[in-house]
Amino acid sequence: MPLIELVPDLDLERLALEHVVPALLSRGFYHVDGLLGNVAGDAVRDQVKDMHLSGALQDGRLAGSVPGIHRRSIRGDKIAWVSGTERGCEAIGYLLNVIDKIISVCASRLGGKAIRERSKAMVACYPGNGAGYIKHVDNPNFDGRCITCIYYLNKNWNRQEHGGILRIFPEGKSYEVDIEPLFDRLLFFWSDRRNPHEVQPSYATRYAITVWYFDSKERAEAKRRFQVLR
């Protein structure tokens, strides 16, 4: 990995305290641009591109199947799960470390949630063939996922030409929120029914990395009820 300028802990703490926590508590989502800077952002992007080009990404799976409906008309991404410690995933590991630091500062300030663990990272690529992901809720049934964090990796994205917008439909609100999947942008939102969202058809290769942070109590209960997610 090239020498990168590390994001200072103090900046991450300020980001968490001054922006992420208030926005999650009031609106339920927040995004920040320029999280890692160009050098580290490029290193993450290169690793994701390498994974894609080497064939490491596989069709994203559905929680269940609907007879007669093709998977790709529901979700058309290709994905891989990584911990960030794998060879060739060092920059992704650094990104995960940064997100973990932000969430660890937020954790005790989000109204009684106990956020101590997260999923592996889902590296995702929409290949640019018009595939997207229909409107859905990440955690509709108390599976433990509490905060969704998505880091985008796409340079020179033009929504008119490339589509690929993440549209959030905040519960009970009359407006929608459009998030462009722009390079070095990190998005946070509650994973439950407060934030239904969709990925609109994407006409250029669209990369993102997603992690889900768990509420420990809900997760423990979910593990008793369901098969473990990941």
Single out the residue of 136, 123, 120, 130 nearest to residue 189, CA to CA: 136
| Lookup result for tokens 């580290």 | 40
Q: Are 100 and 13 in contact (CB under 8 A)?
A: no
Residue 191 CB, shortest distance to ligand AKG, in Å, is 9
**Window 158-177: contact mask with ligand AKG (x via CB under 6 A):** --------x-----------
Residues in the chain, overall count = 230
Q: Are 157 and 181 in contact (CB under 8 A)?
A: yes
State yes or no: residue 48 binds ligand AKG (CB under 6 A).
Answer: no
Q: Are 202 and 164 in contact (CB under 8 A)?
A: yes
Q: CB nearer to ligand AKG: give 115 or 208.
A: 208
Among 106, 131, 146, 199, binds ligand AKG (CB under 6 A): 199
3-state secondary structure of 177: strand
Residues 121-160 touching ligand AKG, rule: CB under 6 A, are 124, 133, 138, 150
Q: CB nearer to ligand AKG: give 11 or 180.
A: 180
Among 40, 115, 208, 209, binds ligand AKG (CB under 6 A): 208
Q: CB nearer to ligand AKG: give 36 or 124.
A: 124
Bin 68: left if φ > 0, else alpha if -120 < ψ < 50, else beta. left
Contacts with ligand AKG, residue ranges (CB under 6 A): 124, 133, 138, 150, 166, 181, 197, 199, 208, 210
